[in-house]
Homo-oligomer: A and B are copies of this chain.
Amino acid sequence: MNDFVFHNPDKVYFGKDIMKNLPEELLQFGKKVLMVYGGGSIKKNGLYDLVKKLCSEHGIALFELSGVEPNPRHTTANKGAEICKKEKIDVVLAVGGGSTIDCAKGVAAAAVIASGNVWDLVSTGTWVTNALPVVAILTNAATGSEMDGWAVISNMETNEKIGLGGSALIPRVAFENPEYSYTLPVYQTACGAFDIFNHVLDNYYLAGDAIFDMVLEMQEAVMRAVVKWTPIAMAEPENYEARANLMWASSMALNTILDAGTVHGCACHAMEHELSAYYDITHGHGLAILAPRWLEYILDETTAPAIARLGVKVFGLDENPDAMDGAKHAIAAVSDFCFRTLGLQSTLTDLGIDSTHFRAMAEHACGGGEITGLKHLAPADVQEIYKMCL
């Protein structure tokens, strides 16, 4: 295994009766708060009103940035940074899903640089060690942004969707009430769940130096939870156990507990970011289309044992003495989960995407090199995988 550092100071309140702690947590940073949110869902489920009420009761001045997009734009983050500078905001409060939290991180980072333009940080790959504090109230189990140091920001002018990372971007406090995800549509529930699953799968190493047996077992525990609880959350949107398992799985998948000793891989994520940058599709759906093809593409003698084990440990398949055969059954199980259980359309063609930009996307996904992972991918490999998704 590899050496690692685990350091995640995020303080997470998880459960039903947690919002009463919001004011004191905000006030440790100051009295001026910028609330960042997306569309109207938090107005429908009462969360918007609750935050306003709690803040007003505790003398907290609340400013607002609304309309955050599902793939949050750098221009939106910059608008928030402008408010922060003008109003001398003390803390950025994200209320929503991963896109909203990502946008809030972009706001927090841009607010402390002279240009106020988050793209200056994103485009230069700057590791962010200075930013306004971010507090997150999570409403959607998916991206893990509530407990990680990353934000994915999109620039629609250049068709780029790129990660911005840094220790200062880990939320200082996160509030996770599974009940706030009750109103999520079935499609969003499915896509969010596959995002979680794929965060773990992208890091699922069984070869080379990056093997840490206990961590592997914990990765499998989280993936099993997603496989078990997602169909239940889809069928019974108000099943607390299901929503809670998915919400904590979202946080566990990216709080770096499951990275210990391994290499943080991101094969499907790197490939998918291109799809949503070009076509603005739902991230988890793009991942679900890619993942089974990726596994199929990288399947060979060296990867077969890992993929076969995925089938046994996560999907409950019988042990297969032939690793290659076991791996094929495992890939079929992943496909079945994506396209039957989650009910997602199975091809890029279904989403109106053709091969026009595959070459440019593949080049960009590899960033001038290769995508690291269970098997490294060069642009030609990525282009091939895109084609398998048509």
A residues neighboring B (CB under 8 Å): 1-18, 212-215, 217-218, 220-222, 224-225, 228-229, 241, 244-245, 248-249, 252, 257, 260-261
Contacts and interface: CB of A to CB of B under 8 A. Distances in A.
Contact of A222 (B5, B10, B214, B229): B214
A229 B252 CA distance: 24
Nearest to A16: B3
Nearest to A240: B1
A214 B225 contact: yes
A3 B240 CA distance: 12
A137 B15 CA distance: 34
A204 to B, nearest CB: 14
28 contacts: A1-B15, A1-B241, A2-B15, A3-B14, A3-B15, A3-B17, A3-B18, A5-B13, A5-B14, A6-B12, A7-B11, A9-B9, A14-B261, A15-B261, A212-B244, A212-B248, A213-B229, A214-B221, A214-B222, A214-B249, A215-B248, A217-B221, A218-B221, A218-B222, A220-B221, A221-B221, A244-B261, A248-B260
Most buried by B among A11, A17, A217, A225: A217
Q: How many copies does the complex hold?
A: 2
A212 to B, nearest CB: 7
B225 A217 contact: yes
Nearest to A147: B6
Nearest to A224: B217
A212 B245 contact: yes
Contact of A260 (B14, B16, B229, B241): B14
Given A228-B213, A244-B212, A7 B15 contact: no
A218 B255 CA distance: 15
Contact of A214 (B15, B214, B217, B245): B245
Contacts of A218: 218, 221-222
A217 to B, nearest CB: 4
Contacts of A252: 214
B4 A14 contact: yes
Nearest to A11: B7
A120 to B, nearest CB: 29
Given A15-B261, A212-B244, A214-B225, 4 more contacts: A3-B15, A212-B248, A213-B225, A217-B222
A3 B179 CA distance: 12
A16 B218 CA distance: 22
Contacts of A10: 7
The 6 lowest CB-CB distance pairs between A and B, nearest first, are A3-B15, A217-B221, A214-B225, A9-B9, A7-B11, A6-B12
Nearest to A214: B225
